[in-house]
């Protein structure tokens, strides 16, 4: 299982990478290729992944997790997404980052206990009326005694139907907006007044469900508030800064999976008396696919290494997320082109990879938003 970049990994990272790669290749990919047709989440494989501890990668060791650094997490997330990106999102969820960033000691122990016992966290920020403009959310939280009464809803929430704990955000002071008017909360799944809608019939990443959430006079005690009142928007942005590099690793995994399909095909398919890779139109296309995949991987790893060094570089994070998403779309689209008519057929896997790739230009901040961040950081 040697790769071009093994020299950048230590022995433990290589061993863990190989373990996840074998699981992804032998079990995840073949199962999910069938399951995704009907948007089925293969829960038996989720159980296996949980037994491997993969849902605990961001939970600190002192709370019973693996406590992996961002770089190691990115390495194994790429491998699992190489098997199936939707399944990777189902297994990893949104991790423990909300607690690492803003949780109290009591909240961390409580949330970690849920996750160690097989639970998963989701992230509830997006609303149908706000989208990329998260500060325009309309979900409200009104303080009543020692409780908050929350009304509104969220949309496009990954793992919304299976999460045991969801980080949500609501307006507590409309006049203050993003500068002190939004508050974060931890929402247990069995809270009265909370309901989950049907999962979306998505184009890609169909082995993870995406749902709308509804809050109807939902009461949350103050102990479930994450951070201080009014800090919610800043907490949300910090969570996204932490999550984007490893989410981008999934995009790299998709691109690598497409290359894994396109290269053998180009070596075997003969046109005009020679394998198609020997025609420059295809050979150079494969080269460009490899160049962008390698570059995306290094950008993702650079952003992760920066975070592990305690440096949250917004420009680097946005660049990595944006480039990896664009790369996934570029590489998968061209993999379909390399396979020609076969690439367009569901009998071959590259059309699925193309469908899976597109979301990485959209969620956790569209690539247009990433470019806003990058230009803002350049010109401030």
pLDDT in tens, 287-317: 999 999 999 999 999 999 999 999 989 999 9
249: Cβ contacts below 8 Å, ≥ 6 apart: 73, 74, 75, 77, 78, 81, 300, 304, 324
Of 36, 97, 127, 364, which one is the catalytic site residue?
364
13: Cβ contacts below 8 Å, ≥ 6 apart: 72, 75
More confident residue, 129 or 238: 238
Last residue of a domain, one of 198, 230, 262: 230
Q: Are residues 19 and 80 in the same domain?
A: yes
Q: Are residues 86 and 209 in the same domain?
A: no
Active site residue 11: no
Residue 82: closest CA among 157, 23, 35:
23
Q: Are residues 242 and 323 in the same domain?
A: yes
Three-class DSSP labels, 305-374:
HHHHCCCCCHHHHHHHHHHHHHHHHHHHHHHHHHHHHHCCCCCCCHHHHHHHHHHHHCCCCCHHHHHHHH
DSSP label at 230?
Answer: T
pLDDT value at residue 1: 61
Last residue of a domain, one of 81, 116, 151: 116
Spatial distance between the Cα atoms of 49 and 88, rounded to a whole number of angstroms? 10
What range defines the domain where residue 33 resides? Answer: 6-116
**Mean pLDDT along residues 146-154:** 97
Yes or no: say if 56 and 92 are a contact pair by the CB < 8 Å rule. Answer: no
Is residue 74 one of the residues assigned to a domain?
Answer: yes
pLDDT value at residue 2: 66
Spatial distance between the Cα atoms of 155 and 203, rounded to a whole number of angstroms? 16
pLDDT value at residue 364: 87
Q: Are residues 246 and 348 in the same domain?
A: yes
pLDDT value at residue 351: 98
Residue 114: closest CA among 184, 73, 162:
162
Average pLDDT, the chain: 95
Is residue 1 one of the residues assigned to a domain?
Answer: no
pLDDT value at residue 286: 98
Give the CATH number of the domain where residue 98 resides. Answer: 1.10.540.10
Q: Are residues 188 and 224 in the same domain?
A: yes
Q: Are residues 223 and 244 in the same domain?
A: no
Q: Are residues 186 and 215 in the same domain?
A: yes
pLDDT value at residue 213: 97
**Mean pLDDT along residues 153-171:** 96
Does pLDDT of 131 surpass 80? Answer: no
Question: How many other C-beta atoms can be found within 10 angstroms of the C-beta atom of residue 192?
Answer: 9
pLDDT value at residue 130: 83
Q: Are residues 140 and 212 in the same domain?
A: yes
232-276, pLDDT tens digit by residue?
A: 999 999 999 988 998 999 999 999 999 999 999 999 999 999 999
Q: Are residues 280 and 172 in the same domain?
A: no
Number of domains in the chain: 3
pLDDT value at residue 231: 96
Q: Are residues 23 and 138 in the same domain?
A: no
Q: Are residues 240 and 360 in the same domain?
A: yes
Query: What are the C-alpha distances in Å from 95 to residues 122, 129, 193, 272, 315?
Result: 8, 26, 25, 51, 23
44-92, pLDDT tens digit by residue?
A: 999 999 999 999 999 999 999 999 999 999 999 999 999 999 999 999 9
């Amino acid at each position: 299982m040697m790769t071009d970049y093994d020299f950048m990994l230590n022995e433990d990272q290589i061993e863990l990478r190989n373990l996840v790669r074998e699981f992804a290749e032998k079990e995840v990919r073949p199962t999910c290729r069938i399951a995704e047709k009907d948007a089925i989440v293969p829960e038996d494989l989720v159980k296996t992944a949980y037994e491997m501890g993969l849902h605990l990668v961001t939970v600190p060791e002192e709370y019973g997790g693996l406590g992996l650094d961002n770089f190691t997490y990115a390495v194994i997330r790429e491998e699992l997404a190489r098997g199936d990106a939707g399944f990777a999102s189902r297994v990893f969820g949104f991790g423990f980052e909300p607690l690492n960033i803003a949780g109290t000691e009591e909240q961390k122990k409580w949330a970690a206990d849920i996750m160690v016992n097989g639970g998963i966290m989701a992230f509830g920020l997006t609303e149908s009326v706000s989208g990329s403009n998260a500060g325009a959310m309309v979900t409200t939280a009104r303080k009543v005694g020692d409780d908050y009464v929350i009304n509104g809803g969220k949309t496009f929430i990954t793992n919304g139907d299976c999460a045991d704990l969801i980080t949500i955000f609501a307006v507590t002071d409309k006049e203050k907006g993003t500068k002190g008017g939004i508050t974060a909360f931890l929402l247990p799944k069995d809270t009265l007044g909370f309901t989950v809608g049907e999962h979306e019939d998505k184009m890609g990443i169909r082995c993870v469900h995406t749902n709308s959430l509804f809050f109807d006079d939902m009461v949350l005690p103050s102990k479930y508030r994450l951070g201080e009142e009014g800090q919610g928007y800043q907490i949300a942005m910090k969570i996204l800064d932490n999550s984007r590099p490893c989410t981008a690793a999934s995009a790299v995994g998709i691109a690598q999976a497409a290359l894994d399909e396109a290269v053998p095909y180009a070596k075997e398919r003969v046109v005009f008396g020679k394998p198609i890779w020997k025609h420059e139109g295809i050979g150079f296309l494969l080269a460009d696919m490899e160049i962008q995949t390698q570059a995306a991987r290094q950008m993702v790893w650079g952003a992760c290494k920066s975070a592990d060094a305690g440096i949250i570089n917004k420009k680097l994070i946005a660049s990595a997320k944006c480039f990896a998403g664009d790369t996934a779309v570029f590489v998968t689209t061209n993999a379909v082109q390399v396979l020609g008519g076969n690439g367009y057929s569901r009998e071959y896997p590259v059309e699925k990879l193309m469908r899976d790739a597109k979301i990485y230009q959209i969620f956790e901040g569209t690539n247009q938003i990433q470019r806003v961040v990058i230009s803002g950081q350049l010109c401030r």
